Homo-oligomer: A and B are copies of this chain.
Amino acid sequence: MKELDFIKIIKNQIGGDYIGSDCAYLKDLGIVVSQDNLVEDIHFKMEWCTPEQLGYKSMAVNISDILAAGAKPAYVTVALSLPSDISDDFIKSFYSGAKKALYGAKIVGGDITGSKDKIFVSITAIGTIKGRKIASRCNAKPGYKIITRGEYGQSSKGLEELINNGDNIELVRAHLEPKLDIEFSEYISTHIDTDYAMMDTSDGLADALYKIAEESSVSINAKYIDGMFGAEDYNLIAAVPDNFVIDLDNCILVGEVVEKQNYVLKIKDKEYKNYDELNLYDHFGGDDE
């Protein structure tokens, strides 16, 4: 998986514990920071979405990282690089969509430049940590339970609709306008007093389980859930102490954390010992997303 290889090179180059997570946790400033790029024809196609949907989703993927850290969305900067034939209306619509996915954050700046032929979006989101316990992928401990909420597989079905020119608008919207579970993030980060792990499932539920297990040096035994290998569902999963009570509707238990085994992740009876066995897409490889 080329993306992970590159992250290793970067870690070697700059050192530090910050790299590789969705957010950098800057304790001295009381914030977490996340930045994501979206590139035309790699992460989105303009034949498949309106400028407003592009704005919505670009913002949502960033705010999702803030929620995954358990922080409160506070500020974002938006940097757009656009081919010279782009219209004023595109920009208006993009921002109109982006505003709908702010979840309380404020747009405070950014950049706008030209681009040769592809649209390039980069958003940086800042979340505040006051009154919250911040999550980390490496905080799962044996005995913890893993919980989530929301539907799985809708987004990848929506992508199928787009690829096949289908007309199920609801599925397409699940893909292009994912709703974020700010309530889940806020509830856990403001009620928990122990270390815990949290992640979004943007690369798939199976991916999130695997990464939490690996980065926490534990193993996870999970249930099989329909749609768990599909990407782009922006739900959250959390690994929390077994006795932590989550007083929210519709939470489900998807697995439990155990001492490190000779596998990283077990889904029903199938053991996964390395990441590639999950057969997920690579941000560098596929032409889907």
Contacts and interface: CB of A to CB of B under 8 A. Distances in A.
Contacts of A108: 16, 18-19, 24, 26, 33
A77 interface: yes
Given A42-B115, A115-B118, A118-B118, A95 B283 contact: no
Nearest to A125: B124
A124 B108 CA distance: 13
B14 A107 contact: yes
A14 B95 contact: yes
Nearest to A94: B13
Which of A30, A42, A128, A285 is the most central at the interface, judged by chain B CB atoms within 10 Å of its CB?
A: A42
B81 A37 contact: yes
B40 A116 contact: yes
A9 B29 CA distance: 32
A95 B37 contact: no
Interface residues of A, number: 65
Contacts of A78: 35
A112 B18 contact: no
Interface string A97-110: 00100000011111
A88 interface: yes
A121 to B, nearest CB: 9
Contacts of A202: none
A186 B113 CA distance: 29
Given A9-B92, A29-B128, A95-B10, A109 B42 contact: no
Given A41-B116, A114-B39, A33 B91 contact: no
A262 interface: no
A159 B34 CA distance: 34
A223 interface: no
A238 interface: no
B284 A84 contact: yes
A22 B41 CA distance: 29
8 contacts: A19-B108, A29-B74, A29-B126, A35-B109, A38-B113, A39-B120, A117-B118, A122-B122
3 tightest Cβ-Cβ pairs between the two chains A and B: A122-B122, A24-B108, A24-B109
